[in-house]
Amino acid sequence: MKIYYDNGQVEVSKLLSSVFNALLENVEFRKIYPSNYRLFQAADFIATMKILQIKLEHNELSRAEDVFFRNHRSLSKNYIKVMEDKTFFAMKNK
């Protein structure tokens, strides 16, 4: 199995390595540079939007997130709603 990760967080890198190596054989880690992989960038964006959606639903957005997206309504209307209109993101409760 090949694991692609950008080594952005040392703790996450260590966790991924220990878990995958403990559970699977022949695990190969490859450093990824997001600028070279559009699929990685798309997956990262979708995951970020999904996390923001969950935080929005539980009223747990940070002040910085709220300021960045202007307000809860803007985030919901201009980002979350657009993503929900896409088939792959609409499976949020499955």
pLDDT score of 88: 60
Token pair of 68 as six digits: 């960045």
Look at residue 91 in the predicted model and tell me its pLDDT: 58
pLDDT reported for residue 93: 52
Tell me what the pLDDT averaged over the chain comes to.
86
DSSP three-state, residue 30: strand
Identify the segments of the chain with pLDDT beneath 70: 87-94
Among candidate residues 5, 8, 38, 40, the one with its CA nearest the CA of residue 19: 5
Q: What is the pLDDT of residues 58-79, one digit of tens each?
A: 999 999 999 999 999 999 999 9
Dist. CA 86–CA 64, nearest whole Å = 26
